[in-house]
Amino acid sequence: MALVALPVAAHATAPTFSVDYVVTVRRRDPGHLHVRWLLAGIDEIDAFRLVFRDDRTTRVTGTGTLAWHDHTLLWTPGGPYAHLAYTVAVERRRPPGPHFDSYAGPDWIATRALHLFPEINVSFRAGTVRAKSRARLVFRLPRGWRVATAARRLADDTFAVEEPAKRFDRPRGWFLFGHIARHTRQVAGLPITVAVAPGSGLDARRLLGLYGRTVPLLESVLGPPPPRLLVVSAPDPMWHGGLSGEDSFFVNGHIPLRSPDKTSTYLHELFHAWRPFRPRADGRWISEGLAEYYSLALQHRAGRLSDRSFARGIRLFARYGRWDIDLSRTRQPAALNNSAPLVMYWIDQEIRRVTNGRRSLDDAVRMLVGERGRLSTASFLRVVNRTADRDFTPLFRRHVYRGECPSLSAMRLGN
């Protein structure tokens, strides 16, 4: 019998091209970062349309041709191997007040990908195979500096940039560089890194202890966690609050694990980091209300907040809330941070009451997460109705659209 040599089957995977994003920090001038993109094998890319947010990016150079229209750069790399280089001024003020959402001190830098990279739009040549990028983020740091990012670490200062839904992977999330401390812990399958800049008052071990108790509880409501979580803690003059990013968030190092009103910025931002739904404009109060309500409720469920303190937290929502306004349209912090979470507590109590304790707000949130649609007041009302098997429309009209404060005595919380 003759043996016939068969050709080895070609792999069905699409060809890849590679991108290295190299970020260089210089000790003499940490306020200006030098960014280089090194691209190889990009035969299938015609051009890039890069949209810069403001005037902090300067000295842009690259192979091929560069054409500017205001803050938009049309870059035609003009060959399979190409590079682009530019300088970014790190500091960016966040009004109102004298605080920053991106800042460089002498020995630390807190910033995020969207400050160092423009919005990237890629046009691929017509009729190309669906090539996918293999991208890395490489940091060149002064001696003694370290880096923390939300990306998967490949080597010391090199990270994988992965954006499964995109053909061209872009860096995302928060970064902290400098003489920083990194604390890591795995909680319920979620690798957590807490990165602390010099001068921050955060006790990272206590924060990891809090997450050890609360992450599993949140997972039971929101489902599987993000692949990784990075918490960036830095002192003034950074923003006095929390700022969420992709798989990461920033909280000012002066903010305690539990705020005087019993809620926790660290749990509020954890909720956002899960990115359970994409809110429409009129879904904002729901995403903020749930994040703030659960930041109180999770501490209570984890046995870290007494019934009395939990009740006090709920009463403070009523006191500091902004009432008699339409929650679905407002942008007022007092309404989003206090009225909205109180309404969430009230919805929880109502669902429990009409189902004789068989169901709760958790069930409505689980259903909402499962829908994967855009979050709006209407979609939220629908899942609340389904969970309670009751029509909440009149109650939403009163407490959401008219913004009437729910009665605390009806919820047995007194005044």
Residues contributing to the site for Zn ion (CB under 5 A): 288, 291
Give the C-alpha separation, 335 to 286, whole Å.
11
Contact 88, 56 (CB under 8 A): yes
Q: Which of 255, 273, 271, 266 is nearest to 174 (CA)?
A: 273
- Residue placing its CB nearer to Zn ion in the complex, 246 or 288: 288
- Residue placing its CB nearer to Zn ion in the complex, 30 or 226: 226
Q: Which of 25, 7, 241 is nearest to 146 (CA)?
A: 25
- Residue placing its CB nearer to Zn ion in the complex, 291 or 311: 291
Min separation Cβ 52 and Zn ion, Å: 27
CA distances from 93 to 96, 112, 115, 180, 195 (A): 9, 14, 12, 22, 22
Min separation Cβ 94 and Zn ion, Å: 15
- Residue placing its CB nearer to Zn ion in the complex, 41 or 241: 241
- Residue placing its CB nearer to Zn ion in the complex, 133 or 338: 338
- Residue placing its CB nearer to Zn ion in the complex, 52 or 293: 293
Min separation Cβ 269 and Zn ion, Å: 7
Min separation Cβ 306 and Zn ion, Å: 25
Buried b vs exposed e over 52-61: b needs ≥16 C-beta within 10 Å? beeebbeebe
Min separation Cβ 276 and Zn ion, Å: 12
Question: Omega before 198 cis (within 30°)?
Answer: no
Provide the token pair at 16.
């890849």
CA 161 to chain centre: 16
Contact 404, 398 (CB under 8 A): yes
Min separation Cβ 118 and Zn ion, Å: 26
DSSP-derived pairing of the beta strands 248-252 and 229-234: parallel
